[in-house]
Chains A and B, each alone.
Chain A
Amino acid sequence: MSKSINVALIGNPNTGKTSVFNQLTGLKQKVGNYPGITVEKKEGICKLPRGVKAHILDLPGTYSLNTTSLDESVVVELLLNRNDKDFPDVVVVISDVENLKRNLLLFTQIKDLRIPAILVINMADRMRRKGITLDLALLEKKLDTRIALVSTRKNTGIEKIKELIADYKNLSNKPNVDTTVIDPEYFEKLKKTFPNEDLYKLWLVITQDVNFMPIEKKTIPDTASFSTKSKSELKRLQQKETILRYQFINGILKEAYKVDLQAARGFRATLDKILTHKVFGYLIFFFILLTIFQAIYDWSSYPMDFIDEQFAAASEWVKDTLPPGVFTNLIAEGILAGIGGIVIFIPQIAFLFLFIALLEESGYMSRVVFLMDRVMRPFGLSGKSVVPLISGTACAIPAVMATRNIENWKERLITILVTPFTTCSARLPVYLIIIALVIPEGRFFGLSYQALTLMLLYIIGFMAALFSAMILHRVLEIRSRTFFVIEMPNYKLPLLKNVAYTVIEKTKSFVYGAGKIILAISIVLWFLGSNGYSDRFAQAENLVKQRISENGFTTYNREDIAEKFESYRTELQTGPALSEAQLNDSLTLKMESLEFRAQRQEIASFKLENSYIGNIGKAIEPLVKPLGYDWKIGIAVLTSFAAREVFVGTLATIYSVGNDEEETIKNRMAAEVRDESDKPLFNLASGISLLLFYAFAMQCMSTLAVVKRETNSWKWPLAQLAIMSTFAYLIALIAYQILK
């Protein structure tokens, strides 16, 4: 039986840790969250020499074991807990050859915990270009470890890492630095009080949250011989420890690490000047954002249309092939529509993460964060919030997922909560149809009123996001440090393998994570819309047929049939000559088909009206009436909770229009009058009220599911739903009451 060992990959951010992980594990990896928090957990399996199997854990990037964020505390928690099932038999510390000094700080801390540690010096391919020479033997001796010189780009050194891991039992676990010298008296007392504990481990436990929010841990109790120091004293000691470590590292690197500075300058400095320039920097970023937006909004429409068509075809196929009945309808209209509603987002998610991965991998993202941070900071957001906010104009789902790049939890949470305010593409069908209905066609300085309204809605969405971010920044009592220290990694060509892994992994996590919730809600919504408890629902077909036979079709369908029939007659008369009998037969057949279609539409409309969801719509009519809506709009608002664009489709069913062609639905909506008067239902007041409602309401279950997934709690999505819906309701109410 092969033996399995636990290996933890630890390193500073931007050292190529994930590339090493990918090369060690290939596709034998899975991505999840650490229990209770949303810090990403990546693990994989790697076969090592001599039949050893390694369970590799890729831990979040950290600069030291003095935690400043949730990500970093995950690393410390694991290294301090020998009972954790993932506690490493050996730690592989990944470092970057150009930043070895800073990287070694973390290495020495891990070494001092007496955990066997291997040092991997990555990006070895840059050594010549940067004028770096290393004395590996001396480094190994001074650091008391084994070193692998690696280039993930050139795929060299990976086998060496595997060999060193397999040979981990021969690694020394002696500490590098004697930390007790920073305050001998304090450590002496600590030793006396806890004689069986490792001193450095105790020290890390004591100082674990001095820079960070209080975390759940067993505190070390004060005794007669020992009392813990105040936070500021502990911080001072921590600084002394860091200085001590750098003295140790400097001593080693002075002998073992040489840099020819002349060779090191050049390309990076020039590029940095341009990309972080006050004017060009923003222009370049704007251009890149435009490309991302174009990809999500436009390029992805081709695969999305394709997916849409395939699911529509599959739905038709199911209806034609399976025996008719309610379960067949559920598969065709509920399950397939639900799965389609998940799969259709894949192109947008894939495109967004393709770009994000390219920006991250190339080193450009750090420049963007630097550039945008000063703009976003007053709103309580981070420079990295720009990408989710802008991507949100295409779709909030990938945008919320993109917030994973924001390290600071408070900034990330605020970005997640406000992103759904930005105008996503699903709002567009609703906006376009309502604007076309209620906004006149005039022009203002050459710009159409309708276009201006649409633009205004985009601005309102973006302003709402920024304004609510500012409020949340003040209201949310989450302590997390917001100092701005950013590392500017070197520019490099993105590794396609890493980019591909990111895209696959993000897409998978959406499909499996949020997808199940979306599918379950789709099934419930289908059931509510296709079933009812009343006799009217059960007898829908007979009642509608009886109504048609007594009173004829509804005015709209009557006119629609007449118009289509006339147009068909004209077509026949202007086409190839037909005998009178042929002409009459064709016209009779056409009339029968038009009447059959109208009858099906009226039955569907009647059924929806008397379904559970129809009853709910009628029940909430008193609630939506002050906003200028009737029960039909109420139903559309309810069903569009699945996705905003469903609003238009639902109205099409309720008004028994029967197809989703915008022009037909628009005409039917324009013809709709209020029950109590002959005034049109969709006028400026109710139209603006609807537009504002959709601008602010959280009408998207997929986004809620993703927010739940990203915050690992229902508290945030539910609060988001409640606050956004209430706000939308109030604004819509005010708008209608003023304008009516």
Chain B
Amino acid sequence: MNLQSVLVYLTLLVALVYLVNKFLLPKKYRIGRKGTSSGCGQDDCGCS
């Protein structure tokens, strides 16, 4: 497997992890910001 293929799979993995994290995982298992620390709610709601 060449470097380009590795990069493709990595990108796909990131996208899949993001979607699973967002769509399928219950809130308490979600990776990343929990909203309360930034005070912007628990979904990605434009708080940057």
Contact = CB atoms under 8 A, between A and B. Distances in A.
Interface of A: 30-36, 41, 43, 85-86, 323, 325-328, 330, 335, 505, 508-509, 512-513, 516-517, 519-521, 523-524, 527, 708-709, 712, 714
A35 B41 contact: yes
Contacts of B44: 512-513, 516, 709
B18 to A, nearest CB: 5
A36 B40 CA distance: 11
B19 A33 contact: no
A327 B10 CA distance: 10
Given A30-B46, A326-B5, A327-B3, 15 more contacts: A33-B40, A35-B35, A326-B4, A327-B4, A327-B11, A330-B11, A505-B46, A508-B46, A509-B46, A512-B46, A516-B44, A520-B18, A520-B19, A523-B12, A709-B44
Rank and list the top 3 A-B pairs by shortest CB-CB distance, nearest first.
Answer: A32-B40, A325-B4, A509-B46
A328 B3 CA distance: 11
A35 B47 CA distance: 13
Indicate the member of A85, A326, A328 with the most B CB atoms within 10 Å: A326
Contacts, number: 90
Contacts of A520: 15-16, 18-19
B45 A33 contact: yes
Given A325-B4, A508-B48, A509-B46, A517 B19 contact: yes
Interface in B28-48: 35-36, 38-48
Given A35-B35, A517-B19, A520-B15, A30 B8 contact: no
Contact of A709 (B3, B39, B45): B45
Given A30-B48, A512-B44, A327 B7 contact: yes
A35 B45 CA distance: 10
A326 B5 CA distance: 6
Contacts of B43: 33, 513, 708-709, 712
A521 B11 CA distance: 12
Contacts of A330: 7-8, 11
Contacts of B38: 32
Most chain A CB atoms below 10 A, which of B8, B11, B12, B46: B46
A326 B2 CA distance: 10
Interface residues of B, number: 27
B22 A509 contact: no
B46 A714 contact: no
A327 B19 contact: no
A712 B23 CA distance: 12
Contact of B45 (A326, A509, A519, A523): A509
A36 B42 contact: yes
Interface of A is mostly: helix
Given A30-B47, A326-B5, A714-B23, A86 B12 contact: no
A177 to B, nearest CB: 32
11 contacts: A30-B47, A30-B48, A32-B38, A33-B40, A41-B40, A325-B2, A326-B5, A330-B11, A509-B46, A520-B18, A527-B12
Interface of B: 2-5, 7-8, 11-12, 15-16, 18-19, 22-23, 35-36, 38-48
B20 to A, nearest CB: 10
B18 A33 contact: no
> A35, A43, A516, A708 — which one has the most chain B CB atoms within 10 A of its CB?
A35
A43 B12 contact: no
A85 B39 contact: yes
B47 A31 contact: yes
A34 B41 contact: yes
A487 B19 CA distance: 43
A463 to B, nearest CB: 32
B19 A524 contact: yes
B22 A517 contact: yes
Contacts of A509: 45-46
B46 A524 contact: no
A520 B18 CA distance: 7
A42 to B, nearest CB: 10
B46 A32 contact: yes
Contacts of B11: 327, 330, 335, 523
Given A523-B15, A524-B15, A43 B39 contact: yes
Which of B5, B15, B18, B35 has most A Cβ within 10 Å? B15
A523 B15 CA distance: 7
B2 A86 contact: no
A325 B11 CA distance: 14
Nearest to A330: B8
Interface centre among A43, A86, A520 (most CB of B within 10 A): A520
A519 B43 CA distance: 17
A714 B36 CA distance: 20
A519 B15 CA distance: 8
A712 B22 CA distance: 11
B1 to A, nearest CB: 10
Contacts of A709: 43-45
Contacts of A31: 45-47
Contacts of B48: 30, 508, 512
A310 B41 CA distance: 35
B8 A32 contact: no
A478 to B, nearest CB: 20
B45 to A, nearest CB: 4
Contacts of A36: 41-42
Contacts of A516: 18, 44
A527 B41 CA distance: 32
B47 to A, nearest CB: 4
B45 A32 contact: yes
A548 B42 CA distance: 56
Nearest to B48: A512
Contacts of B12: 523-524, 527
Nearest to B10: A327
Nearest to B12: A527
A30 B15 contact: no
Nearest to A86: B39
